[in-house]
Structure formats: C-alpha cells, structure tokens
C-alpha cells in the first residue's frame, strides 16, 4: 500500500490515501492507542517506510533522514577490575564506606550485614559452602587491612540456602470456573 501511494500523482488523493493507511495501521495495533503520541509515531513510520520521499501534508513534522543515518554515541564503559566477581562491585564500594565509618556500633552492624550478604553471594555463585573465616579474610583483604573482624558470627549456610528456595505455587485441581456450582447430576442417578 505504501508503494502504491508513491505512484499516486494527485497530491490530494495521496494525502487521503496516507490518512487511510495511518487509520489501518492504527487498527492493526489497537492496544497501542493509549500510548502518548501514537498517531505521531504512525506518521513517522510512514515517512520511514517511504524512505522520506513521500510528498504529502504531514500533520506532524516528519523525522529527518540524518537522524537515522548517524550512529549512536558510544557508551563509556567502566573499565575497573573487580577482584572478587562473585561479590560484585557494590560490595567493594560498601566495604570502602564501612572502613571509614565513624560510629563503632553502626560500623560493626554494617560490617556484619555486608559479611552475611557476601556469604550469600558466595554460596549462590559457587554452589559450595564457605567458612566464616574465608568471608572475614576477604573483607580484610578488600578493605586493605582497615577492617579487622574476628569476632563476628555469620548466618549459617543452610539458613541462607533455605531462605533462597522458591516456594511452590499451590495447585488448583478444579479445572472448572472458580465460583462454579458442583454438578450433582451424577449423584442423583
């Protein structure tokens, strides 16, 4: 249909045919009508499909072809190395913040929370159990010796695994409707 519009010589007839195509495009995807600028997008698509060569009266300004010919800007990726990938960069940042935290009581609580999260991440990534000493040694190494935590007891590995298990969904054995009355015809015979 779009190719046929390009061959129509009368401008008024071309405009009428373009509006008809836009209406058909709108009917093909009625669930998208609630989106802002739905008609505007359809007119843009018509311009793109005709390779910006269609000479009609657009109700909206059509996009320029240069917009589609320019490559997108490169995304600057962070090139820092994560020593312990199973813990992630966020844990490294949290340990840096905890190492300079001033309030002792809150600092100890924060370190314990970080350590428990590290243990959970270790178990999730490696599928092996891990000792508390390993986690505490990793914290000390990641903090460059600023955090010494020998007296912290962490959550048991079995509790971490139990907490992460998905709960089974209840099974509905009744294939009928939810509020359907029971069929008593069989019982009467």
Give pLDDT, residue 162: 66
Higher per-residue confidence, 114 vs 86 = 114
The answer on pLDDT for 181 being more than 80 is no
As given in the structure block, the two tokens for residue 100 are 């300079």
As given in the structure block, the two tokens for residue 104 are 């002792």
Give pLDDT, residue 67: 84
For residue 167, give every residue at least 6 positions away whose Cβ sits within 8 Å of its Cβ, in sequence order, or none. none
**Number of CB atoms found within 10 A of residue 56's CB:** 20
Mean pLDDT of the 33-61 span? 88
Mean pLDDT of the chain: 82
Mean pLDDT of the 95-102 span? 88
Mean pLDDT of the 106-114 span? 90
The sign one gets for the Cα dihedral 107, 108, 109, 114 is positive
49-58 pLDDT, tens digit per residue, is 998 888 899 9
Give pLDDT, residue 14: 93
pTM above 0.85, yes or no: no
Mean pLDDT of the 98-119 span? 88
For residues 4-14, one letter each, b for 16 or more C-beta atoms within 10 angstroms of the residue's C-beta and e for the rest, the string is ebeebeeeeeb
The answer on pLDDT for 148 being more than 70 is yes
Domain-wise residue ranges, the chain: 2-69, 89-164
Under 8 Å between Cβ of 79 and 118: no
Give pLDDT, residue 18: 93
The answer on pLDDT for 166 being more than 80 is no
Please report, for the chain, how many H helices and E strands are present, in that order: 9, 0
Higher per-residue confidence, 37 vs 187 = 37
Give pLDDT, residue 165: 59
The answer on pLDDT for 174 being more than 60 is no
Mean pLDDT of the 90-97 span? 90
For residue 44, give every residue at least 6 positions away whose Cβ sits within 8 Å of its Cβ, in sequence order, or none. 60, 62, 63
Give pLDDT, residue 123: 83
Mean pLDDT of the 56-79 span? 85
């Amino acid at each position: 249909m779009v190719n046929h519009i390009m061959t129509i010589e009368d401008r008024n007839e071309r405009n009428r045919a373009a509006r008809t195509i836009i209406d058909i495009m709108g009917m093909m995807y009625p669930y998208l009508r609630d989106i802002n600028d739905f008609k505007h997008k359809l007119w843009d698509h018509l311009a793109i499909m005709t390779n910006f060569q269609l000479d009609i009266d657009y109700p909206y300004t059509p996009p320029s072809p240069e917009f589609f010919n320019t490559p997108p800007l490169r995304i600057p990726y962070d090139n820092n190395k994560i020593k312990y990938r199973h813990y992630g960069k966020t844990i490294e940042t949290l340990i840096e913040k905890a190492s300079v935290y001033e309030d002792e009581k809150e600092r100890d609580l924060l370190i314990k929370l970080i350590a428990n999260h590290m243990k959970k991440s270790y178990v999730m990534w490696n599928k092996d159990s891990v000792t508390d000493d390993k986690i505490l040694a990793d914290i000390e190494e990641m903090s460059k010796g600023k955090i010494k935590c020998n007296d912290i007891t962490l959550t048991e590995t079995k509790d971490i695994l139990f907490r992460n298990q998905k709960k089974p969904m209840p099974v509905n054995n009744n294939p009928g409707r939810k509020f359907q009355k029971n069929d008593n015809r069989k019982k009467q015979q």
